[in-house]
Amino acid sequence: MQALILAGGKGTRLRPLTVYTPKPVVPFCNRAFLLYQIEILRKAGITDITLSLSYQPDKIEHVLGNGSEYGVNLRFITEPAPLGTGGAYRFAADGIEETTVVFNGDILTDFDIGRFVERHKQLGSVATLALKPVENPSAYGLVETDSESRILGFLEKPTDDQIEKLKINTINAGIYVLEPAILDLMPLGENRSFEYDVFPEILKRGMPFYAGIMKEEYWRDIGTPASYLAAHQDFLRGAIKGFEVESSDLSDVATKATIDSRSIIGEGCVIKPGARITNSVIGPGVQIEEKAIVEDSVLWAHSRISTAAEIRGSIIGRSCHIGRNAVVDQGSVLGDKSTLTDYTRV
């Protein structure tokens, strides 16, 4: 058993956070994001993992290394040009000799991969898709199944009338179990999409094609700043199961600083008297001065929040400087090395 993580996108929806940091290794609760996918694969007994890269591949390899630190073996391949989700799978084919779990690289989930693979094998499927029920599927593509979870069809960007008529709300969750037999459906070196090319062809040929439908499991695409921030809030309130991230005890926190029990504080931080941190993630080496307030926010490494500044519901990139009495309000996103002068409000 092996896995392929599709991590070649430029992360344009997540900018400005991905200008200097590739999306697969943006910090999530102070760990590179892909480590969460790697961890759930390892828990399922899958330790041979290939990462398909395109944008800033050297940075990703530098952060993740060979995987030995995480109990897995990581292999990196770099697409010569964007090949699409299916094309990337085909490009990695020289290392695909068995059943493979495929992950879209921007999915955060606590889905039980082991049980998902077991179901795939029991059904004798050539491809099994994880599906997630959502409240408003109109922004996604609907996947229709029968009573035995056979996949019947796909409907991209459905209208309200179509959703009501079909009475389904399950979308493609970006997690697949695939057999090497489907490689024959994808010419080597051509841009192919699983969603638009490969999966419709499987249906057309009548090959065994099933779904595994998530129930209470957590799932989120973290590909936009709003979703990335919301995923942090979900993690802090305990909505994502199976992962543990604790605050470092190697930070200098003043006795008169106030930090709630949910917040995560990275290593090497300095938090001065009167500072207040609530429901937030503070990256390594951040300095928070006297009477500064940080609420419902994510601060990347080595930023400085000056005296009496206020950060609420925002994301602050790496090595930023927020001036005295400045206010960064709900929904703000500051890229790396941003500077706000004293008394600025955004």
Instruction: Kindly list the catalytic residues.
Output: 157
Choose among 267, 292, 283: nearest CA to 320: 283
Torsion of CA 259, 265, 271, 277, to 10 degrees: -30
Tell me: cis bond preceding 180? Omega within 30 of 0 counts: no
Choose among 250, 258, 266, 271: nearest CA to 298: 266
- Encoded amino acid at 319, one letter: S
Q: State the DSSP code for 202.
A: H
Could you tell me the maximum CA-CA distance found in the chain, to the nearest angstrom? 68
Q: Is 166 exposed, middle or buried (0-12, 13-18, 19+ CB in 10 A)?
A: middle
State how beta strands 31-32 and 27-28 pair.
Answer: antiparallel
- Residue 344's CB is within 10 A of a number of other CB atoms, namely 15
User: Residues near 14 by Cβ (< 8 Å), separated by ≥ 6?
Assistant: 23, 26, 222, 223, 224, 225, 228
Residue 98 is encoded by which pair of tokens?
Answer: 């068995």
Note whether 30 and 284 are within 8 A (CB).
yes
Residue 195 is encoded by which pair of tokens?
Answer: 């969603």
Residue 93 is encoded by which pair of tokens?
Answer: 């084919």
State how beta strands 141-145 and 48-53 pair.
Answer: unpaired
What is the rounded distance in angstroms from the CA atom of residue 102 to the CA atom of residue 320? 36
